[in-house]
Chains A and B, each alone.
Chain A
Amino acid sequence: MAVKEEQQFKELLAKGTSLGKVDQDLMRETIKTQDLWINMGPQHPSTHGVLRLILSLQGERIVDTEVVIGYLHRGTEKLAEARTYHQIIPLTDRLDYLASPNMNFGYVLAVEKLMGIEVPERAEYIRVLMAELGRISSHLLWLATHALDIGAMTVFLYCFREREMILDLFEMATGGRLTTTYYRIGGVAYDLPEGFLDKVEEFCEIFPSRVKDYDDLLYANRIWLSRTVNIAKIDAETAIALGLSGPSLRGSGVNWDLRRNQPYSVYDKLDFEVAVFDGCDVYARYLVRRKEMLESCKIVKQCVEYLKKTEGPVMAKVPKVIKPPAGEVYMATEAPKGELGYYIVSDGSTKPYRLKIRTPSFANLMSLPEMCKGHLVADVIAAIGSIDIVLGEVDR
């Protein structure tokens, strides 16, 4: 290409000198306008961590988006190969550090599936309870940062107020606020502390009214609507083709939730609605997560009800040294961000031969270029926010 252009340029020069004037057509071909390249990130306030985007712009309109990842790579999968099965649980905390219970959950379920362990029902309910609290806290953080990106500052602090309540609950039950490491293969580390369930109930009472607070600021706000409706559209077919999952997929009208479609743990005994909206845009994804928070709150209530009534062990009879039989297993769960899959290959030893993690954020992020095409720079921010990524999960 460059060689050809150079040749043309020489021709142009030759013509110019010989004829004394410039050939307009040739001129147009040779002298080109170039798109403006902008490097967004890794240090940028709204790329939610260390995501880097290379945007080609014409004016402020996006021609192309290139996603550059890897700034938070910690080699989790490789590390796991040198750890025993229980030692891997803290590693999973650090994938999606905004919803660590959910990350633990998928992993322990995978190992249990591989070993065929029956988990006591009480433990399962505790796990679901924690996972749903994790989902609420993850969605709260999403709403907070998403709204902040679009300029609504107050929603940010309101959401953090409620997230703080959940983190306090985590701290009470597990000792950790962010990286809880509460789940064990065969159950949970210990039973819930006294008074915990009352506090959870209290939270469930307050929470819907707090969601109303956010709605007052966003739900029918004209500015919010004009910033989100018909922005970053992705139709159901493309979404599936790109491997989109979780709330982002349900925002494109695909009724697919692993908690209901492939029920694991005790989700089949719980009553909840799957939030599906078919706007395909940023606003639809907002609606999905907004409803999911309320639905999760419902699930939490049901778990509390069950846990208050029953007593029992929270840990199955599991050998001290976990040695799954040789073989492989894939276990997919519905994490707050989408389908979280753990693929374990065991050679019968105390350490996995290979652990492959299918993280939702990674797959979801790949739909970003498709979403941004033809939009403005400001919409890229809205789009990144709407697919809700966590870089810890993208890079692993």
Chain B
Amino acid sequence: MWHDIGLALLRIIVVFAVALLFVAYLTYLERKVIGHMQVRMGPMRVGPHGLLQPIADGLKLFFKEDIVPYESYKLTFYFAPLLCLVCALILFAVVPIDRNFMITRLNIGLLYILSIASVGVMGIILAGWASGSKYSLLGGLRSAAQMFSYEIFLGFSLIGPLMIAGSLDLVKIVEAQKVPLIVYQPVAFVIYLIAALGEINRTPFDLPEAESELVAGFHTEYSGMKFAYFFLAEYANLLIVSAIATIVFLAGWKGPILPGWMWFLIKMFIFVYFFIWVRATFPRYRYDQFMRIGWKIMLPVVLANIVVTGIVMMLV
């Protein structure tokens, strides 16, 4: 029994340490990639090619003064970033990096991810509301509408693949894929990517924190480590979204020659790179246009996709 607990703890430590390191270095990766896309170098000063930059950033944020606005609701103000980060991190618990390597195997893994992710949204709404600032409030309201509606499309876009895979268990979903599901479900894949961009607040849908309009949206009033929590949560969500795409559409760890975990990471980072690339390319949609795209275009398409998938499965 002690042996089991020890093993579980070891897994938790490994997965979370790696996840946090990845999240920290994701910021570095993004800055470098976008930098080179924009004919500049990105971070170069701290360490060789700026490799220690994320650590320096972390240290800096750690030592920053912790400013709490007078008008804020203190308890909620403290609680919101924690909620965001915790919800983002515990998602890693069910992600199967290899056939046997994961913290825990849930038979409703995908459902768990979707539901915890929507709790994470609450953190953003609470942050916007608790800050006691109009800009934050607008940012919080926007994210409320945006993230709730895009979660619906995200969920629906995964239903098609789920019908084919026949399970909510992430391991079974991967094992059911002889051919990556992207081949059978291209529409769902595209919808998933767009909804994911909306869900994790990235360009062209980064409306809750549109820095040119709402200054920084819901985290305008946050500083120091509390800000860092939001920041980490955002990048952790980026990783999770990419991981789900890998598992559901690209057959997770499966692939020739290389070990499974390596395939998993390669596929995941293709998505991460895609999200970064999108950020460097597109302007930002306006809030109402964004909602219109969601409800008037994406929802019908994704529903039609489910119906068509169902009919084809009946016939075949």
Contacts and interface: CB of A to CB of B under 8 A. Distances in A.
Contacts of B134: 36, 38
Interface stretch (A25-33, A127-135, A151-159, A351-359): A151-159
B239 interface: no
A46 B213 contact: yes
A359 to B, nearest CB: 25
Contact of A148 (B40, B212, B287): B212
B288 A227 contact: no
Interface of A: prevailing SS: helix
A166 interface: no
Interface-centre pick from A60, A147, A153 (highest chain B CB count, 10 A): A153
A153 B212 contact: no
A293 B245 CA distance: 44
Contacts of A46: 212-213
B74 interface: no
A377 interface: yes
Contacts of B204: 151, 223
A150 B38 contact: no
A153 B213 contact: no
B281 interface: yes
A212 to B, nearest CB: 15
A221 B283 contact: yes
Contacts of B214: 377
Given A44-B215, A46-B213, A151-B210, A378 B287 contact: yes
Interface in B240-292: 279-289
Given A153-B38, A157-B40, A147 B138 contact: no
B215 A227 contact: no
Given A221-B283, A223-B285, A378-B286, A149 B212 contact: yes
A50 B114 CA distance: 44
Given A36-B134, A151-B283, A153-B280, A226 B215 contact: no
A381 interface: yes
B210 A378 contact: yes
B67 interface: no
Contacts of B40: 157
Interface string B211-253: 1111100000000000000000000000000000000000000
Contacts of A152: 281-284
A223 B283 contact: yes
B287 A376 contact: yes
B203 interface: yes
Contacts of B279: 153
A161 interface: yes
Contacts of A157: 38-40
Contacts of B138: 60, 377
A224 B284 CA distance: 8
B38 A381 contact: no
B34 interface: yes
B206 interface: yes
A168 B138 CA distance: 43
A147 B212 contact: no
A224 B211 CA distance: 17
B37 interface: yes
A154 B37 contact: yes
B280 A154 contact: yes
Contacts of A240: none
Contacts of A112: none
B211 A45 contact: yes
Nearest to A43: B215
Contacts of B289: 226-227
A37 to B, nearest CB: 8
A151 B214 CA distance: 12
A395 interface: no
A227 B283 contact: yes
A44 B216 CA distance: 10
A217 interface: yes
Contacts of A60: 138, 287
A377 B213 contact: yes
Interface string B115-142: 0000000000000000000110010000
B281 A217 contact: yes
A148 to B, nearest CB: 7
A379 B286 contact: yes
Contacts of A45: 211-212, 215
Nearest to A46: B212
A15 B287 CA distance: 45
Contact of A150 (B34, B39, B212, B215): B212
Nearest to B134: A38
A381 B138 CA distance: 15
A151 B281 contact: no
Nearest to A44: B215
B287 A227 contact: no
B259 to A, nearest CB: 36
B38 A158 contact: yes
Contacts of B287: 60, 376, 378
A-B pairs, 9 with minimum CB distance: A151-B284, A157-B38, A152-B283, A46-B212, A151-B283, A149-B212, A150-B283, A378-B286, A223-B283
Given A157-B40, A161-B39, 9 more contacts: A38-B135, A60-B138, A151-B282, A154-B34, A154-B281, A158-B38, A376-B286, A378-B213, A379-B286
Interface of B: 34, 37-40, 134-135, 138, 203-204, 206, 210-215, 279-289
16 contacts: A36-B134, A38-B135, A147-B283, A150-B283, A153-B38, A153-B203, A154-B38, A154-B280, A154-B281, A161-B39, A223-B282, A223-B285, A227-B284, A227-B289, A377-B138, A381-B213
Interface of A: 36, 38, 44-46, 60, 147-154, 156-158, 161, 217-218, 221, 223-224, 226-227, 376-379, 381
